[in-house]
Amino acid sequence: MKFPFTGGNCPGPPYLWDMRYLVILLCFLAAPLGAEPLRVLAIGDSILAWHKWTGRDIPSVMGNVLGAEVENAAVAGARFSNASAFGRAAGFDVRAQFRRGPWDVVLINGGANDLLADCGCGACDTVLDGLLAPDLTGEVPALLAEILSSGAKVVWMGYYASPRSGPFTGCRPYLVEYDARLARLAKQTPGLTFIDSEDVIDPGNRRQFAFDGIHPSPTGARRIGTYLARSLSH
């Protein structure tokens, strides 16, 4: 007697083969499906946007290490304040870069361009406090609360020191204080993690910086992206 799918004569009673097919079918149905990859949205300024057209940007490196799907919405020059309607539509407002979706993680940075545009990196206490005040209120906490309410976890990437300040000369003390406040905010906010890119970038190593001495080179982006991924996986 021939049985389906065997291609020949099968020894044994037919009911034994029916049971074997049933067992195989049950095992197939019970086999766990592959877990869906982590879904990451990146928003922020040029530090995250640099190299994104070549796939060597910080978020893409982080995604490759994690095996994640990454959408990088960061835009060079983006800031938190005073964006026009056109600017918001073009992504120059960090707040407008965020949209609710099936994100597991939102990677974010930003704020340096606000200090440059609104106070020229000098006498910037009022601008800094508008972003993130000593009592941890401001534009940044408001956006982070909105993102967290969507169910995504948030990773804030802190700024690093660079060998050339260019137009950002004078911003360094404010950015150091800004990152310190962000770290404090993360400690008291469930779902928010602060990771300082300065931990892996050496301002004395020009190979880690682009030609302008401010943005990361592919080497620098790889170091930061890998560090972010490893920090998240621990």
pLDDT at 7: 41
pLDDT at 83 (0 to 100): 65
Structural domain boundaries, residue 201: 39-233
Q: How many domains does the chain have?
A: 1
Q: Which residues pair with 41 in a beta bridge?
A: 71, 106
Question: Is 92 within the bounds of a domain?
Answer: yes
Q: What is the pLDDT of residue 85?
A: 74
> Which pLDDT tens digits describe the chain residue by residue (234 residues)?
332 333 444 445 544 434 443 443 344 334 344 578 999 999 999 999 999 999 999 999 999 999 999 999 999 999 998 667 777 777 899 999 999 999 999 999 999 999 999 999 999 999 999 999 999 999 999 999 999 999 999 999 999 999 998 999 999 999 999 999 999 999 999 999 999 999 999 999 999 999 999 999 999 999 999 999 999 877
Rounded to two decimals, what is the model's pTM? 0.84
With respect to residue 16, please indicate whether it lies within any of the assigned structural domains.
Answer: no
Instruction: Tell me what pLDDT residue 180 has.
Output: 98
For the chain, how far is it from start to end, CA to CA, in angstroms?
59
CATH number at 155 reads 3.40.50.1110
The answer to whether 46 and 57 have CB atoms below 8 angstroms apart is no
In 3D space, the residue among 146, 129, 150, 51 whose CA is nearest the CA of residue 95 turns out to be: 146
The answer to whether residue 23 is domain-embedded is no
56's tokens: 């060597």
Residue 10 covered by a domain: no
Inside any domain, residue 19:
no
Asked if residue 22 is part of any domain, the answer here is: no
28 lies in some domain: no
**8 assigned to some structural domain:** no
